[in-house]
Structure 1
Protein backbone atom coordinates (compact mmCIF):
# COMPACT_ATOMS: atom_id res chain seq x y z
CA UNK A 1 0.00 0.00 0.00
CA UNK A 2 1.12 3.54 -0.69
CA UNK A 3 2.05 5.33 2.53
CA UNK A 4 0.51 8.80 2.79
CA UNK A 5 1.09 11.33 5.56
CA UNK A 6 -1.51 14.04 6.18
CA UNK A 7 -0.68 17.20 8.13
CA UNK A 8 -3.27 19.94 8.57
CA UNK A 9 -3.41 23.29 10.35
CA UNK A 10 -4.12 26.99 9.98
CA UNK A 11 -0.44 27.88 9.43
CA UNK A 12 -0.80 31.50 10.50
CA UNK A 13 2.14 31.47 10.08
CA UNK A 14 4.09 28.34 9.14
CA UNK A 15 6.91 27.92 11.67
CA UNK A 16 9.78 25.57 12.46
CA UNK A 17 7.62 23.39 14.71
CA UNK A 18 5.23 22.75 11.82
CA UNK A 19 8.11 22.31 9.42
CA UNK A 20 9.92 19.62 11.37
CA UNK A 21 6.71 17.64 11.86
CA UNK A 22 5.99 17.88 8.13
CA UNK A 23 9.53 16.72 7.30
CA UNK A 24 9.16 13.85 9.75
CA UNK A 25 5.95 13.01 7.94
CA UNK A 26 7.88 13.05 4.66
CA UNK A 27 10.56 10.65 5.92
CA UNK A 28 7.93 8.12 7.02
CA UNK A 29 5.70 8.27 3.92
CA UNK A 30 5.90 8.15 0.15
CA UNK A 31 3.49 11.05 -0.27
CA UNK A 32 2.67 14.05 1.94
CA UNK A 33 -0.58 15.99 1.89
CA UNK A 34 -0.38 19.37 3.67
CA UNK A 35 -3.80 20.95 4.19
CA UNK A 36 -4.27 24.55 5.31
CA UNK A 37 -7.71 25.24 6.74
CA UNK A 38 -9.50 28.41 7.70
CA UNK A 39 -12.55 30.61 7.34
CA UNK A 40 -13.46 34.23 6.70
CA UNK A 41 -12.02 36.49 9.41
CA UNK A 42 -10.13 33.67 11.12
CA UNK A 43 -7.02 34.33 13.25
CA UNK A 44 -4.84 34.42 10.14
CA UNK A 45 -7.12 36.81 8.26
CA UNK A 46 -7.14 39.11 11.28
CA UNK A 47 -3.41 39.76 10.78
CA UNK A 48 -3.63 40.03 6.99
CA UNK A 49 -3.04 36.34 6.24
CA UNK A 50 -6.36 35.03 4.85
CA UNK A 51 -6.69 31.42 3.76
CA UNK A 52 -5.89 32.11 0.09
CA UNK A 53 -2.64 33.87 0.96
CA UNK A 54 -1.60 31.14 3.40
CA UNK A 55 -2.26 28.54 0.71
CA UNK A 56 -0.12 30.45 -1.80
CA UNK A 57 2.70 30.86 0.73
CA UNK A 58 2.63 27.12 1.56
CA UNK A 59 2.78 26.23 -2.12
CA UNK A 60 5.84 28.47 -2.43
CA UNK A 61 7.42 27.04 0.73
CA UNK A 62 7.21 23.44 -0.54
CA UNK A 63 7.70 24.00 -4.27
CA UNK A 64 10.91 21.93 -4.18
CA UNK A 65 9.16 18.88 -2.67
CA UNK A 66 7.84 16.78 -5.59
CA UNK A 67 6.03 14.31 -3.31
CA UNK A 68 4.10 17.05 -1.49
CA UNK A 69 0.56 18.11 -2.33
CA UNK A 70 -0.65 21.40 -0.82
CA UNK A 71 -4.39 21.95 -0.55
CA UNK A 72 -6.84 24.31 1.13
CA UNK A 73 -9.90 23.49 3.23
CA UNK A 74 -12.37 26.36 3.48
CA UNK A 75 -14.45 26.12 6.66
CA UNK A 76 -16.48 29.30 6.17
CA UNK A 77 -19.78 27.52 5.50
CA UNK A 78 -19.27 24.83 8.16
CA UNK A 79 -20.57 24.85 11.75
CA UNK A 80 -17.98 26.25 14.19
CA UNK A 81 -15.90 23.81 16.20
CA UNK A 82 -16.47 21.68 18.18
CA UNK A 83 -19.81 21.22 16.41
CA UNK A 84 -18.39 21.04 12.91
CA UNK A 85 -16.31 17.87 13.11
CA UNK A 86 -18.66 15.72 11.00
CA UNK A 87 -18.79 18.16 8.10
CA UNK A 88 -15.14 19.13 8.50
CA UNK A 89 -13.87 15.55 8.30
CA UNK A 90 -16.09 14.85 5.27
CA UNK A 91 -14.39 17.75 3.51
CA UNK A 92 -11.00 16.56 4.74
CA UNK A 93 -11.49 13.06 3.32
CA UNK A 94 -12.78 14.51 0.06
CA UNK A 95 -9.48 16.39 -0.32
CA UNK A 96 -7.50 13.25 0.57
CA UNK A 97 -9.34 11.07 -1.97
CA UNK A 98 -8.92 13.71 -4.69
CA UNK A 99 -5.16 13.65 -4.19
CA UNK A 100 -4.46 9.94 -3.70
CA UNK A 101 -4.38 8.09 -6.99
CA UNK A 102 -3.41 4.73 -5.52
CA UNK A 103 -5.75 2.73 -3.30
CA UNK A 104 -5.70 1.07 -0.92
CA UNK A 105 -3.38 3.43 0.96
CA UNK A 106 -1.84 3.52 4.43
CA UNK A 107 -2.84 6.99 5.69
CA UNK A 108 -1.36 8.56 8.82
CA UNK A 109 -2.60 11.84 10.28
CA UNK A 110 0.03 13.88 12.14
CA UNK A 111 -1.63 16.18 14.67
CA UNK A 112 -0.56 18.52 17.44
CA UNK A 113 -3.67 18.45 19.62
CA UNK A 114 -4.71 15.51 21.81
CA UNK A 115 -8.43 16.09 21.23
CA UNK A 116 -7.93 15.69 17.46
CA UNK A 117 -6.98 12.04 17.94
CA UNK A 118 -10.38 10.99 19.28
CA UNK A 119 -12.32 13.12 16.78
CA UNK A 120 -10.44 11.67 13.81
CA UNK A 121 -10.47 8.04 14.97
CA UNK A 122 -14.23 7.93 15.50
CA UNK A 123 -14.73 9.25 11.97
CA UNK A 124 -12.35 6.94 10.08
CA UNK A 125 -14.10 5.83 6.85
CA UNK A 126 -14.90 2.17 6.38
CA UNK A 127 -13.09 1.57 3.11
CA UNK A 128 -10.03 -0.20 1.69
CA UNK A 129 -7.56 2.28 3.23
CA UNK A 130 -5.81 1.89 6.57
CA UNK A 131 -5.96 4.92 8.90
CA UNK A 132 -4.01 5.92 11.99
CA UNK A 133 -3.15 9.05 13.98
CA UNK A 134 0.19 10.15 15.41
CA UNK A 135 0.42 13.03 17.87
CA UNK A 136 3.40 15.40 18.06
CA UNK A 137 5.16 16.41 21.25
CA UNK A 138 4.93 20.19 21.03
CA UNK A 139 7.23 20.63 24.02
CA UNK A 140 10.20 19.53 21.91
CA UNK A 141 10.05 22.79 19.91
CA UNK A 142 8.46 25.40 22.22
CA UNK A 143 6.94 27.73 19.65
CA UNK A 144 3.41 28.46 18.47
CA UNK A 145 1.76 30.60 15.84
CA UNK A 146 -0.02 32.41 18.69
CA UNK A 147 3.33 33.56 20.12
CA UNK A 148 4.51 34.68 16.69
CA UNK A 149 1.35 36.66 16.00
CA UNK A 150 1.81 38.38 19.35
CA UNK A 151 5.44 39.36 18.73
CA UNK A 152 6.81 38.32 15.35
CA UNK A 153 10.23 39.98 15.77
CA UNK A 154 10.91 38.23 19.06
CA UNK A 155 10.27 34.85 17.44
CA UNK A 156 11.61 35.78 14.01
CA UNK A 157 14.01 32.82 13.78
CA UNK A 158 11.07 30.40 14.09
CA UNK A 159 9.09 31.81 11.13
CA UNK A 160 9.45 30.07 7.77
CA UNK A 161 11.31 32.38 5.33
CA UNK A 162 8.41 32.52 2.85
CA UNK A 163 6.07 33.80 5.58
CA UNK A 164 8.58 36.34 6.93
CA UNK A 165 7.78 38.79 4.14
CA UNK A 166 4.39 39.31 5.77
CA UNK A 167 5.91 40.27 9.13
CA UNK A 168 8.79 42.52 7.99
CA UNK A 169 8.64 45.97 9.64
CA UNK A 170 9.55 49.04 7.57
CA UNK A 171 11.01 52.17 9.16
CA UNK A 172 11.88 55.55 7.68
CA UNK A 173 13.12 58.92 8.93
CA UNK A 174 11.92 61.92 6.96
CA UNK A 175 14.56 64.52 6.03
CA UNK A 176 17.30 63.00 8.18
CA UNK A 177 19.23 60.34 6.28
CA UNK A 178 22.06 60.42 8.82
CA UNK A 179 19.76 59.35 11.65
CA UNK A 180 18.17 56.72 9.40
CA UNK A 181 21.57 55.25 8.56
CA UNK A 182 22.71 55.23 12.19
CA UNK A 183 19.55 53.50 13.36
CA UNK A 184 19.87 50.86 10.64
CA UNK A 185 23.50 50.10 11.43
CA UNK A 186 22.95 50.17 15.19
CA UNK A 187 20.18 47.60 14.92
CA UNK A 188 22.11 45.47 12.38
CA UNK A 189 19.28 45.92 9.88
CA UNK A 190 19.27 46.53 6.10
CA UNK A 191 19.18 50.06 4.71
CA UNK A 192 17.50 50.12 1.29
CA UNK A 193 16.55 52.74 -1.27
CA UNK A 194 12.83 51.89 -1.44
CA UNK A 195 10.60 49.31 0.21
CA UNK A 196 10.30 47.70 -3.24
CA UNK A 197 13.94 46.60 -3.09
CA UNK A 198 14.78 42.93 -2.75
CA UNK A 199 14.90 42.37 1.01
CA UNK A 200 16.59 39.43 2.69
CA UNK A 201 14.10 37.13 4.39
CA UNK A 202 16.33 37.28 7.46
CA UNK A 203 15.52 40.95 8.00
CA UNK A 204 12.84 41.56 10.60
CA UNK A 205 13.26 45.36 10.39
CA UNK A 206 14.16 47.23 7.20
CA UNK A 207 15.09 50.92 7.06
CA UNK A 208 13.96 52.68 3.87
CA UNK A 209 15.46 55.85 2.40
CA UNK A 210 12.77 56.71 -0.15
CA UNK A 211 9.53 54.93 0.73
CA UNK A 212 7.14 54.72 -2.20
CA UNK A 213 4.01 54.12 -0.16
CA UNK A 214 4.64 56.13 2.97
CA UNK A 215 1.21 55.29 4.42
CA UNK A 216 2.22 51.62 4.61
CA UNK A 217 5.28 52.20 6.76
CA UNK A 218 5.27 50.58 10.18
CA UNK A 219 6.95 53.56 11.80
CA UNK A 220 7.94 57.06 10.66
CA UNK A 221 10.21 59.47 12.52
CA UNK A 222 9.53 63.07 11.56
CA UNK A 223 9.92 66.63 12.80
CA UNK A 224 6.70 67.69 11.03
CA UNK A 225 3.74 67.48 13.41
CA UNK A 226 1.33 67.48 10.44
CA UNK A 227 2.39 63.91 9.64
CA UNK A 228 1.31 62.64 13.04
CA UNK A 229 -1.89 61.41 11.44
CA UNK A 230 0.18 58.82 9.59
CA UNK A 231 0.20 55.30 11.01
CA UNK A 232 2.67 54.80 13.87
CA UNK A 233 4.34 58.19 13.40
CA UNK A 234 6.80 59.33 16.06
CA UNK A 235 7.51 63.07 16.26
CA UNK A 236 11.17 64.01 16.70
CA UNK A 237 11.10 67.02 19.00
CA UNK A 238 14.69 66.77 20.27
CA UNK A 239 17.18 69.36 19.02
CA UNK A 240 20.12 67.47 20.51
CA UNK A 241 21.35 64.92 17.92
CA UNK A 242 22.58 62.54 20.60
CA UNK A 243 19.25 62.57 22.44
CA UNK A 244 17.40 62.23 19.17
CA UNK A 245 19.39 59.09 18.29
CA UNK A 246 18.85 57.39 21.64
CA UNK A 247 15.22 58.41 21.89
CA UNK A 248 14.69 56.89 18.45
CA UNK A 249 16.18 53.59 19.62
CA UNK A 250 13.88 53.68 22.65
CA UNK A 251 10.91 54.29 20.37
CA UNK A 252 11.82 51.32 18.15
CA UNK A 253 12.23 49.06 21.16
CA UNK A 254 8.86 50.11 22.54
CA UNK A 255 7.03 49.95 19.21
CA UNK A 256 8.31 46.51 18.17
CA UNK A 257 8.83 44.93 21.62
CA UNK A 258 12.50 44.29 20.91
CA UNK A 259 15.80 45.16 22.59
CA UNK A 260 18.21 47.10 20.37
CA UNK A 261 21.24 47.73 22.63
CA UNK A 262 22.06 51.32 23.51
CA UNK A 263 24.25 53.25 25.91
CA UNK A 264 22.83 54.07 29.33
CA UNK A 265 20.47 56.99 29.69
Structure 2
Protein backbone atom coordinates (compact mmCIF):
# COMPACT_ATOMS: atom_id res chain seq x y z
CA UNK A 1 0.00 0.00 0.00
CA UNK A 2 1.23 3.48 -0.84
CA UNK A 3 2.15 5.61 2.15
CA UNK A 4 -0.53 8.31 1.71
CA UNK A 5 -3.24 6.13 0.23
CA UNK A 6 -6.59 7.94 0.28
CA UNK A 7 -5.42 11.04 2.15
CA UNK A 8 -6.59 14.47 0.96
CA UNK A 9 -3.87 17.12 0.85
CA UNK A 10 -3.70 20.81 -0.03
CA UNK A 11 -0.24 21.87 -1.26
CA UNK A 12 0.56 25.55 -1.87
CA UNK A 13 3.23 26.92 -4.17
CA UNK A 14 2.62 23.79 -6.24
CA UNK A 15 3.23 25.06 -9.77
CA UNK A 16 7.00 24.69 -9.60
CA UNK A 17 9.99 23.82 -7.45
CA UNK A 18 9.52 22.17 -4.08
CA UNK A 19 5.74 22.60 -4.02
CA UNK A 20 5.40 20.83 -7.37
CA UNK A 21 7.62 17.99 -6.17
CA UNK A 22 5.54 17.59 -3.01
CA UNK A 23 2.29 17.53 -4.98
CA UNK A 24 3.65 14.97 -7.45
CA UNK A 25 5.16 12.74 -4.76
CA UNK A 26 1.97 12.86 -2.68
CA UNK A 27 -0.05 11.79 -5.73
CA UNK A 28 2.43 9.00 -6.44
CA UNK A 29 1.97 7.87 -2.83
CA UNK A 30 -1.80 7.65 -3.26
CA UNK A 31 -3.03 11.01 -1.96
CA UNK A 32 -5.71 13.15 -3.54
CA UNK A 33 -3.93 16.47 -4.03
CA UNK A 34 -5.32 19.97 -4.41
CA UNK A 35 -2.35 21.89 -5.80
CA UNK A 36 -2.62 25.66 -5.40
CA UNK A 37 -0.59 28.52 -6.83
CA UNK A 38 -0.88 31.95 -8.48
CA UNK A 39 1.56 30.86 -11.19
CA UNK A 40 0.41 28.85 -14.22
CA UNK A 41 0.57 25.08 -14.04
CA UNK A 42 1.89 22.59 -16.56
CA UNK A 43 0.07 19.37 -17.35
CA UNK A 44 -0.41 17.40 -14.13
CA UNK A 45 -0.73 14.12 -15.99
CA UNK A 46 -2.31 12.52 -12.93
CA UNK A 47 -5.98 12.39 -11.95
CA UNK A 48 -4.98 12.67 -8.29
CA UNK A 49 -3.83 16.30 -8.75
CA UNK A 50 -6.45 19.05 -8.86
CA UNK A 51 -4.78 22.31 -9.94
CA UNK A 52 -6.39 25.47 -8.59
CA UNK A 53 -5.65 29.17 -8.35
CA UNK A 54 -4.64 30.04 -4.80
CA UNK A 55 -3.30 33.36 -3.56
CA UNK A 56 -2.12 32.40 -0.08
CA UNK A 57 -2.28 36.00 1.14
CA UNK A 58 -6.03 36.34 0.44
CA UNK A 59 -8.69 35.03 2.81
CA UNK A 60 -11.23 34.66 0.02
CA UNK A 61 -8.84 32.55 -2.04
CA UNK A 62 -8.29 30.18 0.87
CA UNK A 63 -12.01 29.97 1.53
CA UNK A 64 -12.66 28.95 -2.09
CA UNK A 65 -10.00 26.24 -2.09
CA UNK A 66 -11.07 24.79 1.24
CA UNK A 67 -14.71 24.76 0.11
CA UNK A 68 -13.63 22.95 -3.04
CA UNK A 69 -11.75 20.35 -0.99
CA UNK A 70 -14.67 19.75 1.35
CA UNK A 71 -17.22 19.62 -1.46
CA UNK A 72 -15.14 17.24 -3.57
CA UNK A 73 -13.55 15.02 -0.93
CA UNK A 74 -15.38 15.73 2.32
CA UNK A 75 -12.26 16.25 4.41
CA UNK A 76 -8.74 17.69 4.55
CA UNK A 77 -6.09 15.42 6.02
CA UNK A 78 -2.91 17.34 5.17
CA UNK A 79 -1.91 20.95 4.56
CA UNK A 80 1.52 21.79 3.13
CA UNK A 81 2.26 25.52 3.25
CA UNK A 82 5.09 25.53 0.71
CA UNK A 83 4.42 28.81 -1.12
CA UNK A 84 7.18 31.35 -0.64
CA UNK A 85 9.15 34.26 -2.04
CA UNK A 86 12.49 35.76 -1.11
CA UNK A 87 14.01 39.23 -1.12
CA UNK A 88 17.65 40.15 -0.62
CA UNK A 89 17.51 43.62 0.92
CA UNK A 90 19.03 44.44 4.33
CA UNK A 91 16.90 46.45 6.74
CA UNK A 92 18.25 49.87 5.77
CA UNK A 93 17.50 49.27 2.06
CA UNK A 94 14.17 47.50 2.52
CA UNK A 95 11.12 49.55 1.62
CA UNK A 96 7.80 48.92 3.32
CA UNK A 97 6.05 47.56 0.22
CA UNK A 98 8.69 44.86 -0.29
CA UNK A 99 8.63 43.97 3.42
CA UNK A 100 4.85 43.60 3.31
CA UNK A 101 4.97 41.52 0.11
CA UNK A 102 7.31 38.96 1.63
CA UNK A 103 5.58 38.84 5.00
CA UNK A 104 2.18 38.51 3.28
CA UNK A 105 3.19 35.39 1.37
CA UNK A 106 5.75 33.71 3.63
CA UNK A 107 4.15 34.38 7.03
CA UNK A 108 0.57 35.59 6.70
CA UNK A 109 -0.06 32.96 4.02
CA UNK A 110 0.87 30.25 6.52
CA UNK A 111 -1.42 31.76 9.16
CA UNK A 112 -4.35 32.01 6.74
CA UNK A 113 -3.82 28.46 5.53
CA UNK A 114 -3.83 27.03 9.03
CA UNK A 115 -6.82 29.14 10.03
CA UNK A 116 -8.76 27.90 7.00
CA UNK A 117 -8.17 24.16 7.47
CA UNK A 118 -7.94 23.75 11.26
CA UNK A 119 -11.72 23.89 11.89
CA UNK A 120 -12.22 20.95 9.52
CA UNK A 121 -9.34 19.04 11.10
CA UNK A 122 -10.78 19.73 14.56
CA UNK A 123 -14.09 18.29 13.46
CA UNK A 124 -12.34 15.20 12.11
CA UNK A 125 -10.08 14.85 15.15
CA UNK A 126 -6.93 14.48 13.06
CA UNK A 127 -4.66 16.20 10.58
CA UNK A 128 -1.09 17.01 9.65
CA UNK A 129 0.14 20.52 8.83
CA UNK A 130 3.60 21.11 7.36
CA UNK A 131 4.75 24.74 7.32
CA UNK A 132 7.80 25.74 5.32
CA UNK A 133 10.50 27.59 7.18
CA UNK A 134 14.16 27.61 6.09
CA UNK A 135 17.71 27.46 7.40
CA UNK A 136 17.38 31.26 7.27
CA UNK A 137 14.57 30.94 9.79
CA UNK A 138 17.07 29.47 12.24
CA UNK A 139 20.23 31.50 11.60
CA UNK A 140 20.81 34.93 10.11
CA UNK A 141 21.68 35.51 6.48
CA UNK A 142 23.31 38.57 4.95
CA UNK A 143 20.54 40.85 3.69
CA UNK A 144 17.29 38.82 3.34
CA UNK A 145 15.81 40.73 6.30
CA UNK A 146 12.14 40.16 5.55
CA UNK A 147 12.72 36.53 4.58
CA UNK A 148 14.65 35.90 7.80
CA UNK A 149 11.84 37.46 9.80
CA UNK A 150 9.06 35.54 8.08
CA UNK A 151 10.75 32.16 8.17
CA UNK A 152 11.66 32.59 11.85
CA UNK A 153 8.03 33.43 12.56
CA UNK A 154 6.87 30.28 10.77
CA UNK A 155 8.88 28.15 13.20
CA UNK A 156 7.25 29.85 16.20
CA UNK A 157 3.78 29.72 14.65
CA UNK A 158 4.22 26.01 14.01
CA UNK A 159 5.23 25.30 17.61
CA UNK A 160 2.29 27.34 18.86
CA UNK A 161 -0.15 25.43 16.67
CA UNK A 162 1.46 22.11 17.61
CA UNK A 163 0.91 22.55 21.34
CA UNK A 164 -2.48 24.19 20.88
CA UNK A 165 -3.99 21.46 18.71
CA UNK A 166 -2.14 18.33 19.86
CA UNK A 167 -5.00 17.34 22.22
CA UNK A 168 -7.29 17.40 19.18
CA UNK A 169 -5.14 15.05 17.11
CA UNK A 170 -3.65 17.69 14.80
CA UNK A 171 0.10 17.57 14.26
CA UNK A 172 2.05 20.64 13.09
CA UNK A 173 5.69 20.63 12.04
CA UNK A 174 8.06 23.07 10.36
CA UNK A 175 9.97 21.85 7.31
CA UNK A 176 13.42 23.47 7.27
CA UNK A 177 15.14 23.09 3.90
CA UNK A 178 18.68 24.08 3.12
CA UNK A 179 19.85 25.05 -0.37
CA UNK A 180 17.56 23.32 -2.87
CA UNK A 181 17.86 23.51 -6.65
CA UNK A 182 14.67 25.32 -7.76
CA UNK A 183 13.65 28.17 -10.07
CA UNK A 184 14.09 30.45 -7.06
CA UNK A 185 17.70 29.50 -6.44
CA UNK A 186 18.35 29.53 -10.20
CA UNK A 187 17.54 33.26 -10.12
CA UNK A 188 19.85 33.99 -7.20
CA UNK A 189 23.35 35.41 -7.74
CA UNK A 190 25.74 32.55 -8.38
CA UNK A 191 28.17 33.76 -5.71
CA UNK A 192 25.41 33.62 -3.10
CA UNK A 193 24.54 30.07 -4.10
CA UNK A 194 28.21 29.08 -4.03
CA UNK A 195 28.64 30.46 -0.50
CA UNK A 196 25.75 28.44 0.89
CA UNK A 197 26.67 25.23 -0.93
CA UNK A 198 30.30 25.72 0.13
CA UNK A 199 29.14 25.83 3.76
CA UNK A 200 27.09 22.64 3.42
CA UNK A 201 28.99 19.65 4.85
CA UNK A 202 27.69 17.22 2.21
CA UNK A 203 29.27 19.50 -0.39
CA UNK A 204 26.28 19.94 -2.68
CA UNK A 205 22.77 21.30 -2.76
CA UNK A 206 19.59 19.31 -2.61
CA UNK A 207 16.78 18.56 -5.04
CA UNK A 208 13.06 19.24 -4.51
CA UNK A 209 12.46 15.51 -4.13
CA UNK A 210 14.69 15.48 -1.04
CA UNK A 211 12.17 17.76 0.64
CA UNK A 212 9.15 15.99 -0.84
CA UNK A 213 10.14 12.67 0.72
CA UNK A 214 10.39 14.36 4.12
CA UNK A 215 6.93 15.81 3.60
CA UNK A 216 5.60 12.34 2.81
CA UNK A 217 6.86 11.11 6.17
CA UNK A 218 5.32 14.04 8.06
CA UNK A 219 1.96 13.52 6.33
CA UNK A 220 1.91 9.77 6.76
CA UNK A 221 0.83 7.59 9.66
CA UNK A 222 4.51 6.80 10.19
CA UNK A 223 4.89 10.14 12.02
CA UNK A 224 1.91 10.01 14.39
CA UNK A 225 4.18 10.82 17.38
CA UNK A 226 5.93 13.74 15.64
CA UNK A 227 4.71 17.28 16.25
CA UNK A 228 6.22 20.67 17.07
CA UNK A 229 9.51 19.82 15.38
CA UNK A 230 11.90 21.53 12.99
CA UNK A 231 12.33 18.86 10.30
CA UNK A 232 15.70 19.88 8.90
CA UNK A 233 16.77 18.70 5.42
CA UNK A 234 19.86 20.75 4.64
CA UNK A 235 22.91 18.58 4.01
CA UNK A 236 24.28 19.41 7.46
CA UNK A 237 24.33 23.21 7.03
CA UNK A 238 22.91 23.93 10.49
CA UNK A 239 25.21 21.39 12.14
CA UNK A 240 28.33 23.46 11.44
Asked if TM exceeds 0.5, the reply is no
Q: TM-score, normalised by structure 2?
A: 0.39
Query: More helix per residue: 1 or 2?
Result: 2
Bigger Rg, which one? 1
Q: Which has the higher contact order (CA 8 A, sep 6+)?
A: 2
Query: More strand per residue: 1 or 2?
Result: 1
